[in-house]
Amino acid sequence: MGDRRLVPSRWFLPAGLLLAACQGLAPRVDPGQVIFQDDFSRPTSGWDRYHDTTYLSDYAEGSYRINILDPNTDAWANPDLTLSDVRIEVDVTKVGGPDNNVFGVLCRYQDSRNFYFFLASSDGYAGIGVYKDGRRRLLSDKSLLPSEAVQRGQGSNHLRADCDGYRLSLFVNGRPVAEAQAAEWQSGDIGLIAGTYELPGTDVLFDNFSVLQPTP
């Protein structure tokens, strides 16, 4: 993936929690508290920036853009953090390419071959899955399932993904659309993901990314 040497600049942890972390203590984070937040208005906030003939992932127009130029390809980006239980929220807008696409978020990212993903598509499907040793497998069902919660075409969608203990949950526009259980990893990085099927050209913008401590 892209260069991760840039330092994240959107931490919203209170000073006391940052001090506890620096002293090697386990800081207490209250349910619903913001852990990390980024509106992508600053291209130096720490996310991967990558361009080649297969895809690009970079800051664009005050958002974060993933544009995939090859068929049957997934691409993702990370801010290089280590978190455990999280609630991730982000707004996603399709700006180009076919409706037969996927876009979403990641949690407990270990490396490019191991992580959980939460996906929706511009033709109205959604689901949860895992990359394990480089092999992609859905956890919520045998395939992505249709959902009336998903705005189709170039409509914007608000995604929420909960990684809370063994429980994985996906919400689209405030409505629950998929659930799964998994126990491969307890912590890891977070991220954004998009993908193509037979037709290339998936082009999506992510905005208003936030990570919160899950609520009971």
Domain ranges of the chain: 36-212
Residue 130, SS3 per DSSP: strand
pLDDT at 21: 39
Query: In this structure, are strands 50-51 and 55-60 parallel, antiparallel, or unpaired?
Result: antiparallel
Structure tokens at 10: 């959107």
pLDDT at 20: 37
Structure tokens at 121: 């598509």
Q: What gap in Å lies between CA 152 and CA 161, rounded to an integer?
A: 19
State the amino acid at position 168 in one-letter form: L
pLDDT at 216: 73
Q: What gap in Å lies between CA 20 and CA 38, rounded to an integer?
A: 23
Give the CATH fold of the 36-212 domain.
Answer: Jelly Rolls (2.60.120)
The answer to whether 101 touches 152, Cβ cutoff 8 Å, is no
pLDDT at 3: 26
Task: Encode the chain (216 residues) as per-residue pLDDT tens digits.
Answer: 332 222 223 333 433 333 333 334 445 567 789 999 999 999 999 999 999 999 999 999 899 999 999 999 999 999 999 999 999 999 999 999 999 999 999 999 999 999 999 999 999 999 999 999 999 999 999 999 999 999 999 999 999 999 999 999 999 999 999 999 999 999 999 999 999 999 999 999 999 999 999 987
The answer to whether 181 touches 151, Cβ cutoff 8 Å, is no
For tokens 């993903």, what's the residue? 117
pLDDT at 30: 74
